Amino acid sequence: MLSNATRETSLSGVFVPRPVTEQEIHALDEAFDAAHDGPLDTANPRVGCVLMSADGLTSVVGWHKGAGTPHAEAMALAVARSTGFKLHGSTAFVTLEPCAHHGRTPPCAVALIEAGVRRVIYSYPDASPLGGGGAALLRRAGVEVLGGINYQRGKELIFSWLDNAPHDVDPQQWVPQRPYVIAKWAMSLDGRIAAADGTSTWITGEQARAYAHTIRSTVDAIAVGSGTFHTDDPLLTVRDTPEQAHPLRVVVGNRPVSEGSRACSAGASLLHVPTRDLPCFVETLSHNSVRRVLVDGGPTLVSALIAEQLVDELHVYVAPKLLGAGKSAFDDAGVTTLTAAHHFSVVETQRLGEDVFIRLVATTDLGDAS
The residues carrying an active-site annotation are 73
250 DSSP β-pair partners: 223, 271
Nearest to 160 by CA among 174, 175, 180: 180
DSSP 3-state percent helix, strand, coil across the chain (nearest 5): 25, 25, 50
Measured CA to CA, the distance from residue 168 to residue 149 in angstroms comes to: 30
- Give all strands (DSSP E) within 134-177, no chain letters: 144-146
Q: Which amino acid does the sequence have at 296?
A: D
48 DSSP β-pair partners: 63
Nearest to 149 by CA among 119, 118, 180, 125: 125
Q: Report helix angle 22-35 to 151-158, nearest 10.
A: 10
- Give all strands (DSSP E) within the chain, no chain letters: 5-9, 15-19, 48-52, 59-63, 91-96, 119-124, 144-146, 180-188, 221-225, 248-252, 270-273, 292-295, 313-319, 344-352, 355-362
Write the Ramachandran bin of 159: left for phi over 0, alpha for psi from -120 to 50, otherwise beta: left
Q: Which amino acid does the sequence have at 355?
A: D
Distances (CA, A) of 81 to 49, 99, 203, 262, 311: 15, 21, 54, 54, 43
Q: Please, which residues have CB within 8 angstroms of residue 277's CB and are 6 or more apart in sequence?
A: none
Q: Please, which residues have CB within 8 angstroms of residue 339's CB and are 6 or more apart in sequence?
A: none
Q: Report helix angle 22-35 to 72-83, nearest 10.
A: 110
